[in-house]
A and B are shown apart, each in its own frame.
Chain A
Amino acid sequence: MSSIFFATGKMYLGFIREFTSILALLYDTVAWIVVGPFRGKVASRQSIFQQMVFAGVQSVIIVAFISLFTGIVIAMQSAYQLKQLGAVVYVAPMVSISITRELGPVFTALVVAGRVGSAIAAELGTMKVSEQIEALETLAIDPVRFLVVPRFLGLLVMVPCLTLMANFMGIVGGLIVGVTTLDIGFHRYVLFSFDFLVWKDIWSGLVKSALFAIAIAMISCHVGLSTKGGAEGVGKSTTLSVVISFIMIIVLDCIMTGVFFFSQV
């Protein structure tokens, strides 16, 4: 019986330790971004650009595809319910609000965590186990500045951009259902979509997505940089980064929704 308590306690302490080291990494990263330019030490523009292309541009198609179909599904599900009330036209705001507030930011972050976060953890993990991180340190190049900062900035800029696009594609998905099968009419659908949408729906979603981006970047960089034990370790790190990122995205989403919408109820 006592072993259960020991195990729980150990897990709790391990969690606290990992969490503080992720915060420490975040502090280092932000310090480099804020103080770095004054000391003439910035992450190279080229590597930031590379990371933005990898994290953002190359995720466009998959994010667009997923959000388009999410929009279609939401429209179909809500139409099924709203039809019984004779309020089919409210499918439009239903889709636009649920996409911009929740599904756009969350699905985009999940896709990016799976596609980009795992790649970051695998790349940094491989660099760690093949002495490349140590080589950087020996060359007096800070791995946080050289490796973490470009990935952090790439994700921080691109995830909100992707989210904006996901919002658009989701609404388009709803529009397709509304116009083709629900006979709402293009003009009326668009009008209803945006009549009920307020700015807060959009910006709260974007703030969330920026936080998700920070979480993905920090978790996957930290997990990658603390990889141990060869090829097996790299595999473990890759899986771990995705699992923890997913959990953190959902937890953060819950907290932020509470802050933005539930605190005023």
Chain B
Amino acid sequence: MNKFDAEKDEVVIEVKDLVRKFGDRVVLNGINIKIRKGEIFVIMGGSGCGKSTLLRHIIGNLKPTSGQIFLMGKDIASAEEAALNEIRKKIGMSFQSSALFDSMTVGENVSLPLREHTKLNKNVIEIMVKMKLELVGLRGFEDLLPSEISGGMKKRVGLARAIAMDPQIVFYDEPTAGLDPIMSSVIDKLIVDLSNKLSMTSVVVTHDMKSVMAIADRIAMLYEGRVLEIGTPDEIKNSKNPLVKQFINGSFDGPISFFQEKEDYLDQLTG
């Protein structure tokens, strides 16, 4: 069941015919996606299918070769730096490598956007930092440096920093990559909680099937720079598409080949 009605719900992110080339290599080949307000939208696909690149286009860090991206109604592909920064204040991003500033303490990391973009009193900011860290279960760790905490904790601090400005949309790049199963579940629950409690739109890029099925409202499956299928977890599970099936079951046999073409390989070997 789709709990969203496409007609009624507001579209906050719209990607139209997005094409991106790096040199001759086409990484994104005509992507069309609409993401609605309040949903948890998962972009999944194998390594190198372009999902992280797609995310970086949506947040405006990369510019498309052609196509348009609307973030909260503004075309960010052609936006000026100043306009782009205004939009960026309304979004949060949790990075794969956490990307905490390692010269700053946990508290300073979380408070940085508040200190930079608001004129709030120091005490108010301190309270807000405590609240955000409480949300991710890390209150009391303000004075530690990123090098002094574990990988899972870093992810959660990165998350606290992403939501420091109370964004309308939060992006997650591989939120559970490199974490143990329990920590992965903790992060999954956190994403769902944040999205429910603070009614944020969440866009998650991942290839972790377990967490995809646990958190997603809708899923887009990416393959070789194209969207194969968009649907609810149930629709994706029951997909007839052999590519999608293979990815979900994680099976070795199927149309997605680990190997290059056999003839190429023979040619390469024999020169």
Contact = CB atoms under 8 A, between A and B. Distances in A.
A233 B121 CA distance: 41
A139 B113 contact: yes
A140 B89 contact: yes
Contacts of B96: 131
A132 B112 CA distance: 13
A43 to B, nearest CB: 11
Contact of A130 (B61, B97, B117): B97
B88 A139 contact: yes
Question: What's the dominant secondary structure at chain A's contact region?
Answer: helix
A11 interface: no
Interface residues of B, number: 23
A140 B99 contact: no
B112 A134 contact: no
Which of A127, A131, A139 lies at the interface centre, i.e. has the most chain B CB atoms within 10 A of its CB?
A: A139
A132 B117 CA distance: 18
Nearest to A127: B101
Given A140-B117, A141-B113, A141-B116, A135 B88 contact: no
Nearest to A126: B102
A183 interface: no
Contact of B101 (A132, A137, A138, A142): A132
B95 interface: yes
A132 B113 contact: no
A143 to B, nearest CB: 11
Nearest to B173: A131
Interface string A113-142: 000000000010011001110110111111
Interface residues of A, number: 15
A135 B95 contact: yes
B116 A134 contact: no
A146 B117 CA distance: 13
A195 to B, nearest CB: 50
Contacts of B92: 138
Nearest to B158: A135
Contact of A138 (B93, B100, B116, B117): B93
Interface string B28-40: 0000000000000
A139 to B, nearest CB: 5
A138 B158 CA distance: 12
A138 B59 contact: yes
B78 interface: no
Given A130-B99, A131-B96, A137 B61 contact: yes
Interface string B92-112: 110111011111000000001
Given A141-B112, A141-B116, A134 B99 contact: yes
A141 B99 CA distance: 14
Contact of B99 (A123, A135, A142, A146): A135
Contacts of A137: 61, 88
A146 B88 CA distance: 16
Nearest to A134: B61
B85 interface: yes
A9 to B, nearest CB: 21
Contacts of B113: 139-141
A135 B116 CA distance: 14
Given A139-B88, A142-B85, A146-B116, 19 more contacts: A126-B102, A130-B97, A131-B99, A132-B100, A132-B102, A134-B61, A134-B95, A134-B99, A135-B93, A135-B100, A135-B101, A137-B61, A138-B59, A138-B61, A138-B88, A139-B112, A140-B113, A141-B112, A141-B113
Interface of B: 56, 59, 61, 85-86, 88-89, 91-93, 95-97, 99-103, 112-113, 116-117, 161
Interface of A: 123, 126-127, 130-132, 134-135, 137-142, 146
Top 5 A-B pairs, shortest CB-CB distance: A135-B99, A131-B99, A140-B88, A140-B85, A138-B93
